[in-house]
Structure 1
């Protein structure tokens, strides 16, 4: 679902979660930063992919995958075999991000299997070596070239390059005229064409890296948010019922096909629930910057230019001075009359400012669609002896805040009228 980098025009970003795809120089070594003006050029040109107009174009794809998701859960109920929530929703988000980035269709939502899903499964598997690679990329980049560390497994790198070249060829090659990009791949091709005209050097590796990191950063963060949302709602039936009533009212007003991104984004309580999920379970709990100039905090502290700065975002999200009873799942804290009292820059699941998550709207749209269709079709209840949300283990080896154990819920089909 999105980037967890922080905000300030004062700082130069170092790689963090989703926005790393705007900062990488090669797909095989994503620890190397894109300095301005290349970073700014890429960001400016890719924003076209995340406009409201482009996101509306994904309605049909996302709605189809939501139908597959509902159907798969129905099959699992009949067979009495259930999939871990994170895996189930990762299947769903892989299909959507894979199509939005590479233009590839997939059946992972319905079947659990696809070529792209094989790659994203590698992303979800952590080891000591991979942890060392990622730690070096983020905190000791000088070690990356020494030891040949890479963000992606070699097999994933090879796959992304092959797919990128295949799709480009099928679409008419690099020289095909592109007036209005219809997806991320078109936008990347247009960037390549414009760079040649402007005598900029943007290699194929840079282009592939943007698409690859969009998948890497987008599928798992969104899946994690959906996992924790469904799991919290299972243990909070009063919140689930209130949310269901709001969704049902919207469905009755607009119809199932009318539940598009704009309608879902306008549902007040629905978005309070999602904000509370991202407060408690920010996929990336820290924000990182490098000071671009000396910055005076007070008489005792000045941050020198070139100093890496890490902000404990998840710490602020759990600080009772900012969010009373922080361990409580309470969407009401984001109701308009309450949200206005939240201190600025204490809630930053997507960062803030010019370097905030470029894919925020895409990630939120994916989450909204998926949750809405699941909740409209099924009542969610906890399974016997399941750990409560506060008892559930956290993944200790990965980069993102994710469940450290399989989480399951019970689905009760609703009477659809």
Structure 2
């Protein structure tokens, strides 16, 4: 009996050793990818690759990206592993230009995996690929021209006036406020009015449905953080075990809201100069063909615009997805930029006063009114916002996926279809060769002289090329208007609850403070 047990134990031990050895060799083979190509790479951790700390929620995506960028400062590009998949990080600005602009036809997609069957609102411009993305991007671009955005400006000013009134009492009492939440209410109202034509009233109503939906999208939790990372790092696994990233209540809300607004406008013959109106027009036109002319301002790469025809059917889900991403992107990026900007102005009162002086002097020229032209004329305001986006870019890194085999210029390194390319935005933004003393908030980084000396691709808060942020102008105008209203009426300073320095939240993919941005608000001395 004892001999039988010993033999059985040895058999199982042998099987265990064989299995473990096989797994070890499998990972070794996988992780030898860059070595065989002669590319320097950062040593991966089994089975996480180079994103272990992000998966385990030990570090934010910003911290991780900076570390990866700084690992081999002398290299033009560096090999990485996203889980077990090889990925490449581009450091060289000329190569970044190739990926995002010059050779865009090789890098048209972002490499995101989504399922419209599981996630109805995932068929939006940020996720879409190939000709479907190209057709939709071309048709949505006219909504975000300077002329169209200027026509929405009066709607933004309504929300800004409500923001001022909302803060009056708090400023009178010198209260401490969590500014991210306040700014989120403001941007929710702006997007609700400009995109949907609806008064969300988030500023005055803490139970606003629009604001509740926005909070559900961006609320952070360990589970949501891990799921978000796994969806990126292990897309094949997520196909086998699909998990919804959006709560069902959010999907239902946007699908219902878009449908109701469209039906109301069509029934009552209501027409407005907003995003929803464009969606209605697209729906009424039915299908859009991919062989229609591409407008020049969209800057699409015509070399890959083939003559073959592709139909894009504008279903309710597709239209609702575009409204959803417009709302989410406009709400989050602008509120984050505004709150981080106020944080830096509170830490740097001399910058705050100089900006306030510019606002005051400009308003004198415009009869005390914060007009569209008044905002466009404020050069120091532009510098302050640009510097905020340098230190706190909305996305710490950008990704492109190889859509056809590509050889890196000047090398024999061949990138295969499906491989991801990482552009480390925050690494570039904190590189002292482009921005001296990068930890210091210095709006003069964006003086005319500084801009002229610095390579264009060292600053990428909105990306570059055909897949840059379509709502960039809208977001900047919204943020600048908010700052003008706030600084012309109030002063902001640090308080007992202000976190110094800010600790970034590792549970959310965009840049966000872990404990909010608390500041003291006072009425300004007139």
Could you state the TM-score of these two structures normalised by the residue count of structure 2?
A: 0.71
Instruction: Please state how far the C-alpha of 1:365 moved relative to its aligned partner.
Output: 0.7
Provide the C-alpha distance between the structure 1 equivalents of 2:143 and 2:111, rounded to a whole number of angstroms.
21
Contact 2:163 2:203 (8 Å CA) reproduced: yes
Post-superposition shift, 1:240? 0.9
Partner of 2:360 in structure 1?
248
1:132-180 CA distances to partner (integer Å, 9 max, x unpaired)?
332244343334443332342110001111111111111115x9797xx
- The answer as to 2:460 corresponding to 1:348 is yes
* 1:407 and 2:499 are equivalent in the alignment: no
Looking at structure 2, the residues matched to 393 and 296 of structure 1 have their Cα atoms a distance apart, in angstroms, of: 37
Q: C-alpha separation between the residues in 1 aligned to 2:414 and 2:287?
A: 42
Structure 2: gaps (5+ residues):
1-95, 290-310
Q: In structure 1, how many angstroms separate the alpha carbons of the residues matched to 2:131 and 2:145?
A: 22
CA distance in 1: counterparts of 2:179 and 2:462, whole angstroms: 23
Alpha-carbon distance change, 29 to 109 in structure 1, aligned in 2, over 3 angstroms: closer
Shift of 1:297: 3.2
Q: Which residue of 2 aligns with 1:292?
A: 403
Deviation at 1:109, TM superposition (A): 1.8
Correspondence 1:320-399 to 2 at 5 A: 320-384=432-496, 386-388=498-500, 391-399=501-509
CA contact (8 A) 1:290 1:308 kept: yes
CA distance in 2, matches of 1:261, 1:151: 38
Say if 1:262 and 1:237 are closer, same or farther in 2 by CA, change over 3 A.
same
CA contact (8 A) 1:25 1:206 kept: no
- Could you tell me whether the CA contact under 8 Å between 1:297 and 1:303 is conserved in 2? no
Q: Which protein shows a greater Rg?
A: 2
Aligned residues of 1:291 and 1:309 also touching (Cα < 8 A) = yes
**Residue 7 of structure 1: how far off its partner (Å):** 2.8
Which residue in the other structure is 1:30 paired with?
Answer: 122
Specify whether residues 36 and 194 from structure 1 end up closer, same or farther in structure 2 by C-alpha distance, changes over 3 A only: farther
Tell me how far 1:379 sits from its aligned partner: 1.8
Structure 1 window deviating more from structure 2 (276-285 vs 5-14): it is 5-14
Deviation at 1:45, TM superposition (A): 0.8
Give the structure 2 partner of residue 76 of structure 1: 170
Moved more, 195-204 or 318-327: 195-204
Gaps of 5+ in 1: none
Q: Tell me the distance in 2 between the aligned counterparts of 1:25 and 1:403.
A: 31
Cα 1:54–1:197 shift into 2, 3 Å: closer
Q: Spell out the pairing of 1:51-130 with structure 2 (5 A cutoff).
A: 51-78=145-172, 81-130=175-224
- Residues 38/295 of structure 1: CA separation in 2 closer, same or farther (3 Å cut): same
Q: Does 1:158 align with 2:269?
A: no
Counterpart Cα distance in 2 of 1:299 and 1:54: 45
State the aligned residue count: 401
Following superposition, the deviation at residue 196 of structure 1 comes to 3.5
Helix, strand or coil: the match of 2:421?
Answer: strand
Structure scoring higher RCO (CA < 8 A, sep ≥ 6) equals 1
TM-score (norm 1): 0.89
1:13 equivalenced with 2:109 (yes/no):
yes
CA contact (8 A) 1:133 1:150 kept: no
Moved over 6 A (4+): 175-178
Deviations 1:343-375 (A, max 9, x none): 221110000111100000010011000011000
Distance 2:324 2:367 in 1: 35
In the alignment, the residues of structure 1 paired with residue 212 and residue 231 of structure 2 have an alpha-carbon distance, to the nearest angstrom, of 24
**Alpha-carbon distance in structure 2 between the residues aligned to 1:172 and 1:361:** 29
SS in 1 for 2:457: coil
